[in-house]
Amino acid sequence: MDIEKARDIIVDFIRERTKEAGVKGAVVGISGGIDSALTAYLTVEALGKENVLGIHLPELKLTPAEDVLDATEIAERLGIEFKTIDISGPLVSYMEAIPDSGQSFNHANGNLKARIRMSILYYYANIMGRMVMGTGNKTEILLGYFTKYGDGGVDLEPIGDLYKTEVREMANMVGVPADIIDKAPSAGLWEGQTDEDELGISYELVDRFLGLLLEGESPQMAQNTLGLTAQQRDSVVSRIHTNLHKQKAPPAADLDSLRGSYITV
Ligand SMILES: Nc1ncnc2c1ncn2[C@@H]1O[C@H](COP(=O)(O)OP(=O)(O)OC[C@H]2O[C@@H]([n+]3cccc(C(=O)O)c3)[C@H](O)[C@@H]2O)[C@@H](O)[C@H]1O
Ligand SMILES: Nc1ncnc2c1ncn2[C@@H]1O[C@H](COP(=O)(O)OP(=O)(O)OP(=O)(O)O)[C@@H](O)[C@H]1O
Ligand SMILES: [Mg+2]
């Protein structure tokens, strides 16, 4: 892919879609990871630094100090307004309010964190008249590897058509610091979580696998071409199918058959 042209298309996309929506600014959750760093760089290029608010939302018990420093560095380099809001308080309140909550529910607790972050980003979008920039990439979106209405609850997905490996290429091109590009991708939702461990496959391989599937190769052929294990093949294919619902608006029960012809006027 011509990564410079892709950058131009994404920057124009942010500019045009915010204009269409009648807003001048954007809010970006900046984690200290590469996806949000790249999104922040591209959003600043599109809208200007005075129109971008970066918010770091650590959970102080869990978020590595390195991430706090990296998020701050991104904001300083870009010269954007930046806030750090600890989500530990709201998280504890939710846990106390939910009678069946428990520390052992890593998965539900992790998704709750992503949804608390989403709520705070929208609070700022509401009071400032701005849009929430998503940071999802093509790999995450195809796999459904995000929290529905959490990090997936956004207004635009500027880098949503870039595979993770292309995100790295573009981040390098726009000048995201190398230590952020080289850091192991992590959702940071529970202790020790990394994307590649949870997915059971490296981003290099899964991107090539997804590319072959989109070109029409069967999962079996793509598995053979790339030397994947049957378990890796099945796990990726199963994620794609299981999470298809995340790509669509929630369906409504269809009641057209109960209505008279007046509805077609
Ligand atoms: N067929 C269907 N049609 C409509 N809705 C359906 C459904 N199947 C499940 N659902 C609903 O979806 C829910 C499951 O989806 P969801 O709540 O999202 O949860 P789920 O997909 O199970 O978990 C989220 C995954 O994304 C990962 N993640 C999250 C956040 C950030 C990142 C990152 O990379 O930074 C990664 C996280 O580690 C985890 O593996 C179900 O509880 C149910 O409510
Ligand atoms: N501590 C955090 N502070 C602010 N936003 C966060 C935080 N953790 C997650 N997010 C939001 O959720 C998004 C999804 O997380 P994800 O881990 O996929 O992206 P990333 O951290 O930017 O990059 P990487 O995948 O390399 O870790 C982030 O890009 C960011 O917008
Ligand atoms: Mg991350």
Identify the residue whose C-alpha is closest to ligand 1 atom 7.
Answer: 245
- Digits of tens for pLDDT over the chain (265 positions)? 999 999 999 999 999 999 999 998 999 999 999 999 999 999 999 999 999 999 999 998 889 899 999 999 999 999 999 999 999 999 999 999 999 999 889 999 999 999 999 999 999 999 999 999 999 999 999 999 999 999 999 999 999 999 999 999 999 999 999 999 999 999 888 888 899 999 999 999 999 999 999 999 999 999 999 999 999 999 999 999 999 999 999 999 999 899 876 655 5
Atom of ligand 1 nearest to the CA of 35: 35
> CA-to-CA distance for 109 and 122, rounded, in angstroms?
20
pLDDT of residue 190: 82
DSSP notation for 152-168: T--SB-TTTTS-HHHHH
Q: Which ligand is nearest to the CA of 245?
A: 1
Q: What is the Å distance from ligand 1's center to 5 Cα?
A: 33
pLDDT of residue 233: 97
pLDDT of residue 60: 83
Q: How many other C-beta atoms are found inside a 10 Å radius of the C-beta of residue 194? A: 13
Ligand 2 neighbourhood includes 58 CB (under 6 angstroms) = yes
pLDDT of residue 262: 60
pLDDT of residue 206: 98
- Is 107 annotated in some ligand binding site? no
Q: What is the Å distance from ligand 3's center to 145 Cα?
A: 12
Identify the residue whose C-alpha is closest to ligand 1 atom 41.
Answer: 148
pLDDT of residue 188: 84
pLDDT of residue 264: 58
Q: What is the Å distance from ligand 2's center to 104 Cα?
A: 22
* Residue among 158, 115, 164, 163 nearest 26 (CA): 158
Q: Where are the alpha helices (DSSP H) in the chain?
A: 3-21, 34-47, 65-78, 88-97, 106-128, 138-143, 164-174, 178-182, 195-199, 203-214, 219-226, 230-242
Q: Which ligand is nearest to the CA of 135?
A: 2
For the chain, the farthest-separated pair of C-alpha atoms sits apart, in whole angstroms, at 63
pLDDT of residue 261: 64
Ligand 1 neighbourhood includes 150 CB (under 6 angstroms) = yes
User: 194 by DSSP, 3-state: which?
Assistant: coil
Ligand 2 neighbourhood includes 36 CB (under 6 angstroms) = yes
Q: What is the Å distance from ligand 3's center to 153 Cα?
A: 16
- Is 241 annotated in some ligand binding site? no
